[in-house]
Amino acid sequence: MNMTHTWARENFARLETLYHAANGYLGVRAAPEEGAAAGVDSIRGTYINAFYEVKDVRYGEKLYGFPETQQVMVNLPDAQTIRFTAADMAFSMFAPEVTERRQTLDMENGLLRRTCRWQTKHGTLRVAVTRMVSFVQKGLFLLRYRVVSEDFSGAISLSAILNADVRNHAAAGDPRVAAEPHRCLAVREVGLEGGQAYALAETLRSGLSVACRVAYQCSLQPDFTKTQTATTACFSGALNPGESVELVQYAYYADSRRVHSPAMAARDGLAQCQTMGAEALQAAQTAYLRDFWHHARVTIDGDTRLQQAMDFNLYELLQSTGEDGVSNVAAKGLSGEGYEGHTFWDSEIYVAPFFLWTNPEKVRQMLLYRYQTLPRARENARLLGIAQGALYPWRTINGDECSAYFPAGSAQYHIDGDIAYAFLQYWDATGDVTFMAEYGAAVLVETARMWLQLGHMEADGFRIDCVTGPDEYTCLVNNNFYTNATAQHNLRGAVRVVNALAVQGKDVLLRRDTGLTDAELIAFAQAADRMYFPVDSALGISPQDDSFLLKQRLDLAAIPKERFPLLLHYHPLYLYRYQVCKQADTVLAHLLFPGTADVDTVRRSYAYYQQVTTHDSSLSRCVFAMMAARLHMPAEALQLFQETVALDVDDAHGNTRDGLHTANMGGAYLTILRGFAGIMLDGNGLSIAPMLPPGWQGYGFPLHYRGAQLHCQVSAQGIWVRHLAGETVTMDILGQPVLLHAGETYRTGLDT
């Protein structure tokens, strides 16, 4: 379960992203310990999920309600620098004398390993580096730097540097990255104490503080020095042929969003890690991942390359997602500064389902983040002229809107429906009454209220005007199909959950805290039942909105390949006036809400939108892959899946250097479950209708559902659903209701 690359100077920052180490709380990019050589593309970064600075949003012309500030993820004090010299020569892995350079991501043990061979004038040395960000000790970044002499004789030194003087990365001209570098941290104190180094820093405006404390273990004696912003621990000695030396560095981070005193938390956490020791910490990492893969791994029989890519996608979802209620998952996870660490609707639609089926408690924590920011969502609604309910921001860290471009940002009201969708999926998959009574129902009610304020009832139904759907190349339209579908689902879901709680007498606190009335529930149901959806009888498809089909189609074939993605080469107003899609929009609505159209309409719509969609968004191909599988087009579905699962490994969008496309990785997982396996979950329960992609011998995946641990296996010989442990459950398999008890296996033929 490994991924290996040889080091290359070209686009090295892409490898720093792919091989980063993270645990959902802390992330460290795989920058070279010794620093990058001149001309090498490198982005050095260490991040804590949802630890942010506030910066001003600059406008040439600012109107009422535009965000005045935004939050940005902060590049933290750097503890990954180790300078190595041998016989007064500085080591660089980019030097021509360095050969056999390899780096391996060990996803079974949660380690990054780098190895190389350095041929110096005084003999040959081997350098082996192991990195680990611990899933067990969340604040720990462990670095082991080992040097082995083959035939080298001479003096060596290893200098470990803790540098608190850091800045955030920037890329002018790319709206997906900050436009200019900026300093987020003020260094409060750098020091040495008891053989340990530490740095304390505070954000300049948001008032958050972070501590990093570092301890060292080495057979050589250290010499410590410090400046106002950095410390250095230098370990000097000599090596002879056959000898080796290893520097083990424990760096522990803590922040004020989680603990009262980051300095004390870093000191205590570091002490626990030292007591355990590096070997025990690595063993605990292996045990953690053994359990993760047991509950999460998707197996693909007959395609080794796809299996490796799938493993990588799922491992990165684990590395990216917070589980403390303070954080969620950023668009780039903890792998880079693209989108400045913001959480989008991607979190609920593409990432949450992976944990829903593999670790429901983690989804619970993701949803708690949305509940915790509900007060800010209410404030955001008022700012946008919505008198009741809550409107979640399009992109955020702390719950405030970070989008300065409202047509393709704040106008995406569908985010309320996306968040409601995740709460309802959690409810249907777990039946967690307590969670819904205490947290989930309030979110459903407040988001449902927003739709009543945003929309209006007309003779032809409940209409929602001036919104933007997922397709950001079509903005500020009336009755976006996807938006109306999420609104309908949200409204009906609020009624369904409140009624279920009322049956058990658990709606009292909800009604008291939100002021919910029976009249509102009736209004929710009426708006949902009369929701307006645009139709086109001539084409027999679902129009993306009221005006989409009236626009001139953009000739995509006439646009040179280097002009994609279009958002980097064409003014938004140019794109808005054409019939062109950045990503799946109506197709996604048909996928998530199958009741919105019959299968013939869905099939024709799929074919139509394939012609006008650029897939400039990383969220697009996976949706088309899922729908192609649903429509029994296995070859097309497989091709789209292959492009989805390899998007970052192949750097298909050319910006993996700035961070992974985390939601796309969730989309790869969903293509297996929602697409090939045909899994659907709603108020009626769980159903599965698998197909076998061409060329595959089979595939399998675990499922957690209603307290049961299941495993599904699909091959040409049939379908096996094994009930491994837990509660008795009923699920629909190829249209047949099946009751499963612990220890039982249900087998049936594959529906061809």
pTM: 0.96
The yes-or-no verdict on residue 454 having pLDDT over 60 is: yes
* 3-state class (DSSP) for residue 329: coil
pLDDT at 673: 98
Runs of H (alpha helix) within 190-345: 262-276, 278-296, 304-320
Among 293, 261, 452, residue whose Cα is nearest residue 359: 293
The structure tokens listed for 169 are: 């990365």
pLDDT at 751: 73
In the predicted model, what is the mean pLDDT of residues 18-32?
97
Q: Tell me if the domain spanning 2-293 has CATH number 2.70.98.40.
A: yes
Rounded Cα distance, 567 and 571, in Å: 7
The yes-or-no verdict on residue 176 having pLDDT over 60 is: no
H or E segment to which residue 99 belongs: strand 98-106
The yes-or-no verdict on residue 180 having pLDDT over 70 is: no
Among 535, 519, 661, residue whose Cα is nearest residue 598: 535
The answer to whether the beta carbons of residues 325 and 438 sit under 8 Å apart is: no
The answer to whether the beta carbons of residues 151 and 121 sit under 8 Å apart is: no
Q: Which of 202, 337, 472, 643 is catalytic?
A: 472
Rounded Cα distance, 25 and 47, in Å: 8
Helix axes 518-529, 481-503, angle to 10 degrees: 140
Maximum distance among all Cα pairs of the chain, rounded to whole angstroms: 89
pLDDT at 257: 97
**For 69-105, b where at least 16 C-beta lie within 10 A, e where not — what string?**
bbbbbbbbbbbbbbbbbbbebebbbbbeebeebebeb
Rg over CA atoms, the chain: 27
Total count of residues recorded for the chain: 752
Task: Kindly report the backbone phi and psi dihedral angles of residue 671, in degrees, each rounded to the nearest multiple of 5, phi listed first.
Answer: -65, -35
The structure tokens listed for 18 are: 């792919």
Is residue 180 part of the annotated active site? The answer reads: no
The structure tokens listed for 237 are: 């000695």
Among 400, 330, 452, 433, residue whose Cα is nearest residue 57: 400
**Which pLDDT tens digit goes with each residue over 561-573?**
999 999 999 999 9
Bridge partners (DSSP) listed for residue 231: 162, 226
Cis geometry, peptide bond prior to residue 565 (ω within 30 degrees of 0): yes
- The percentage of residues in the chain with a pLDDT greater than 70, rounded to a whole number, is 98
pLDDT at 178: 57
The one-letter amino acid at 437? A
Rounded Cα distance, 397 and 385, in Å: 22
Rounded Cα distance, 430 and 543, in Å: 35
Band (pLDDT 50/70/90 cuts) for residue 174 is low
pLDDT at 302: 86
pLDDT at 177: 56
H or E segment to which residue 500 belongs: helix 481-503
**Which pLDDT tens digit goes with each residue over 661-685?**
999 999 999 999 999 999 999 999 9
Among 556, 584, 19, residue whose Cα is nearest residue 312: 19
Rounded Cα distance, 693 and 677, in Å: 10
The answer to whether the beta carbons of residues 690 and 645 sit under 8 Å apart is: no
